[in-house]
């Protein structure tokens, strides 16, 4: 387990631990209940290492989860061009760290206030609280957008503008169920389909043209 990821849950761990200690004086069942909550929290904040493919033409998923939509639309915040958006829904059972889809430098990071609507709906991209990132290398610029959901209430950023990240390297996370979107160039070949489950930092979702 990574200390940086677990530290995001330090207050949750502390509260459940105190409740477990207090409940041990009154009820074994309450003690077991709070120990179960501690275990579930530990499972949620798990953060396994992943091996990213070395091929620079391959773009990997920025998050764990299920592909909910693949559509063409304008990315009007960072790139301001028509792109192909791949939406990934993260359930509470998925790893919630976000990872760089390519080797590249962070050239854009912008937080936007908003609502916390159901992250399974593609329209939440326009209304929910979000953090938009752009990763750039000599070949391509990829935009990633982190979105809160009905349960998620906190977007965490670990990288800064100007940081150089390797493909698959962690740049942040979203607490609990949420959505992550990738905005790809139209020339890229998408290698996933709606319904596929992907692993952030390792599942190849698209290939750049040679």
CB-CB contact of 76 with 112 (8 Å)? no
How many Å apart are CA 204 and CA 58, to the nearest integer?
6
Pairing of strands 97-99, 189-190: unpaired
List the end-to-end C-alpha distance of the chain, in Å, as a whole number. 37
Q: For residue 143, count CB atoms less than 10 angstroms from its CB and return exposed for 0-12, middle for 13-18, buried for 19 or more.
A: buried
Separation CA 89–CA 168 (nearest Å)? 18
Helix (H, G, I), strand (E, B) or coil at 136: strand
Residue 23 annotated to the active site: no
- 70: β partners: 86
Q: Which two tokens stand for residue 195?
A: 């319904």
23, 24, 91, 178: the catalytic one is 178
The first and second tokens of residue 86, run together, are 């791949």
CA nearest neighbour of 77 among 151, 196, 183, 176: 183
Angle of CA points 83, 87, 93, to nearest 5°: 160
Catalytic site positions: 178
């Amino acid at each position: 387990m990574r200390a940086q990821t677990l530290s995001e849950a330090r207050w949750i761990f502390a509260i459940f631990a105190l409740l477990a200690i207090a409940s041990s004086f009154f009820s074994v069942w309450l003690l077991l209940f709070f120990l179960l909550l501690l275990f579930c929290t530990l499972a949620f904040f798990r953060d396994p290492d992943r091996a990213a493919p070395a091929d620079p033409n391959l773009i990997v998923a920025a998050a764990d989860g299920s592909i909910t939509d693949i559509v063409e639309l304008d990315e009007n915040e960072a790139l301001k061009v028509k792109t192909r958006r791949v939406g990934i829904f993260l359930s509470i059972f998925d790893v919630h760290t976000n990872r760089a889809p390519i080797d590249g430098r962070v050239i854009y990071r912008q937080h936007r206030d908003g609502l916390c609507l159901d992250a399974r709906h593609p329209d939440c991209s326009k209304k929910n609280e979000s953090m938009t990132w752009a990763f750039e290398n000599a070949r391509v610029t990829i935009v990633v957008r982190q979105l809160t959901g009905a349960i998620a209430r906190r977007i965490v950023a670990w990288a800064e503008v100007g940081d150089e990240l390797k493909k698959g390297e962690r740049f942040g996370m979203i607490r609990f169920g949420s959505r992550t979107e990738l905005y790809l160039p139209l020339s890229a070949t998408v290698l996933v389909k709606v319904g596929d489950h992907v692993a952030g930092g390792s599942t190849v979702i698209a290939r750049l043209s040679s």
